[in-house]
Structure 1
Amino acid sequence: MTSTWKDARLGYTVRRRPPTPNIDLGRFKDLYTSNISDILGKLMTMDCRIKPVVNIEAPVIGFAVTVMVHPGANLMVKKAMEMAQPGDIIVINDQFDRNNALLGGVMAEMAAAKGIAAFITDGLVRDQEELEAAGVPVFAQGLTPIAPASSRPMGQVNTAISCGGVIIHPGDIVMADKSGVVVIPAIDAETVLEKGEVLRKKEWEWLHPEMPGEFPIYASTNAELERTGCEIEPGA
C-alpha cells in the first residue's frame, strides 16, 4: 500500500532561478581561488575534502543553482539541471554523505548538452571515466560505484544552503580550480574585483623588487621575528 501527501511538505520545495546578476564573470579571469579566499578573509572557502574528481584544465566560474538533498538522493539534482541555464554551476548540499553517489556519467552527459559549467557537492559521485569524457568539471568529496538512493523524495532547489561549510545563496558566484572552491556573494562582486586588482599588483611588486633577490617578504618576516622577541643567532 502506498500513501500520498495531500498538502505540500514543509521544506520540500523548488523555487524559481533568480535573475542572472548583471556581473561580467570574465573580469575574474586573472584571479585564482587563493586570491578570492584571501580577499574574503578565508571565510568563503569550502572544506578541503571537496576537490576535482576529473582533470581540470582551467578555473571554472559561474552563478550558483543551489540544491539541498536527503543524503545520497538526487531527485532534486535532476530538477536543478532542468532549470539551470548555460554557464550555471550546480552546488549540492549532500551533508558529506559517504554512502551513495549523487550523479555519474549519464547526468554529466546531460549537463554537457545543456552547457552547465560544473557540479560541486560535498557528497560522492561515480563513473570517473564517463565524467572525464563528458567534459563537465565535477568537484566532490570522492568517488564510489554505488548508485544514488532513489526513494527519498526530499530536498530543496534555489534556497540558501550550506556546502562544504560555506553558506551559498542562489545567484552567488562560485569559482573552482585545482586548489578548491570559493564562493563570492553576488553583492560583494565589485568589491572583490577592486581588491583583487590591488592584490595582484602587490604580488607582482613582491616578486619584482628593485634589487633582484631582495624580496620584501624577507624584511617583513625579520621585522615580525624581532617584534615578537625571537632569539636570532648572529649571521642567521
Structure 2
Amino acid sequence: MDSLALDPAIVATLQGVSTATLTTVLLKHGLRNVWLRGTRPLAPGYPRLVGRAFTLRFVPAREDLATPASWGNPISTRAAIEAMPEGCIAVVGAMGVTDAGIFGDILCARMAQRGVAALVSDGVVRDVTGVLGTQLPVWCQGTAAPSSVTGLTFVGWQEPIGCGGVAVFPNDVVVADQDGAVLIPQALLDEVIEASVEQERLEGWIMSQVAAGAKLPGLYPPNDENRKKYEAWKKSGGR
C-alpha cells in the first residue's frame, strides 16, 4: 500500500490548481472525459483535496448477494475500509444510483480515523448528519435513507471502476474541490502538474489584465503580442 503515498510536494502543488484548470490541461493532452459526474461536495467549505484513488466497485443488487448479512463477508465495504492507506481518496463506483446510500456515519467515521483524505462517489450517502459529524470530506450526489444493499451489491476494491462515467484505475490521482472531482491518469501526472502550474500562472496574469480594463479578444487566449507581454512579466518575476 505504500505505493499509494503521494509526494507531499506534489500534493501541495496540486492543491494550488483548480479542477477547472486541470480539465483544460487534460483536454490539451487529449483527455475529455476526466470530470466525475455527480461528484458534488456534500457540504460547503471543503478545501481542495488531492490523493491517489483507492477504488471500490458496486454492481446492481442481486437478492441472494445484497443482504445485510453480506456486510460481514470477507469481501465487504468494511473490509475495504481496513485496507485503505492514509492519504488516499476513496473513489466509489455506485453506477449513479441515488436511492441507496453506499456509506453511513459509522463507515465514514472509520475512514476518517484511518486518515483517508476524502470519499468521492457518483452515488449517495446515508445518515448525513452523522457523516458530516465525522469531518470526512465527501463528494457525491446527495443523500438517501435506504442502505446500499437496497439497490447495490459490493463486489471488490482496488480494481478498475467506472465512477461518474469516468474510468478510474487504482493509483490514479484525484483532485476534488467546489467544482467536483477530476481524475489525473497516473502516467500523465508529471506532465499535467507542469502544464497546470503554467496555466494557473498565465490565467493569473490574464486576470490582472482584465482587472486593469483590458479587452478579452487577443488576451484570452493571448495573441502573439500579449504572449510576449506575459513572457516578459514572467521573466521579471511577476512584477
Confirm or deny a common fold (TM above 0.5).
Answer: yes
Partner of 1:37: 23
Would the aligned equivalents of 2:14 and 2:175 in 1 still touch at CA under 8 Å? no
Q: What percent identity do the matched residue pairs reach?
A: 22
Task: Flag structure 2 segments of 5+ consecutive residues without an equivalent.
Answer: 223-239
Q: Which structure dedicates a bigger proportion of its chain to helix?
A: 2
Gaps of 5+ in 1: 1-16, 224-236
Task: State the Cα distance separating 1:196 from its structure 2 match.
Answer: 1.0
* 1:27 equivalent in structure 2: 13
Q: Secondary structure at the match of 1:176?
A: strand
SS of corresponding position for 1:125: coil
| Aligned-partner residue type, residue 39 of structure 2 | I
Q: Hey, what's the Cα distance between the residues in 1 that align with 2:152 and 2:171? A: 26
Decide whether aligned partners of structure 1 residues 154 and 209 sit closer, same or farther in structure 2, where only a CA change above 3 A counts: closer
Distance 1:208 1:150, change over 3 A: closer
Paired residue secondary structure (2:190): helix
- Helix, strand or coil at the partner of 1:110: helix
> Cα deviations across residues 160-217 of structure 1 (Å, max 9, x unaligned)?
11100111110111111111110011111110111012101211221223992114x2
Number of the residue aligned with 1:92: 92
The amino acid across from 2:131 in the alignment is: L
Q: Which residue of 2 aligns with 1:55?
A: 44
Name which one, 1 or 2, has greater alpha-carbon Rg: 1
1:141 aligned onto 2:141: yes
The count of aligned residue pairs is 205
Secondary structure in structure 1 of the residue aligned to 2:46: coil
The structure 2 residue matched to 1:68, chosen from 48, 57, 61, is: 57
Query: Over aligned residue pairs, what C-alpha RMSD do you find?
Result: 2.7
Indicate how the Cα distance of structure 1 residues 132 and 154 shifts in structure 2: closer, same or farther if over 3 A, else same: closer
What amino acid is the match of 2:90? I
CA distance in 1, matches of 2:158, 2:109: 22
- Does the CA contact (< 8 Å) of 2:5 and 2:87 recur in 1? no
Letter in 2 for 1:39: V
Note the alpha carbon deviations across 1:205-236, whole angstroms, 9 max, x for none.
21223992114x23468x9xxxxxxxxxxxxx
Task: Please state whether the residue corresponding to 2:106 is helix, strand or coil.
Answer: helix
User: Do the aligned partners of 1:20 and 1:171 also contact (CA within 8 Å) in 2?
Assistant: yes
Aligned partner of residue 19 in structure 1, secondary structure: helix
Question: Which residue does the alignment assign to 1:169?
Answer: 169
- Given residue 102 of structure 2, which amino acid in structure 1 is its aligned partner? L
Contact 2:6 2:51 in 1 (8 A): no
* SS, match of residue 155 in structure 1: strand
2:51 and 2:87 in contact (8 A); partners too: yes
User: Structure 1-normalised TM-score?
Assistant: 0.78
Query: Are the aligned partners of 1:56 and 1:137 in contact in 2 as well (CA < 8 Å)?
Result: no
Deviation at 1:139, TM superposition (A): 1.1
8 Å Cα contact 2:60-2:151 kept in structure 1: no
Shift of 1:67: 1.0
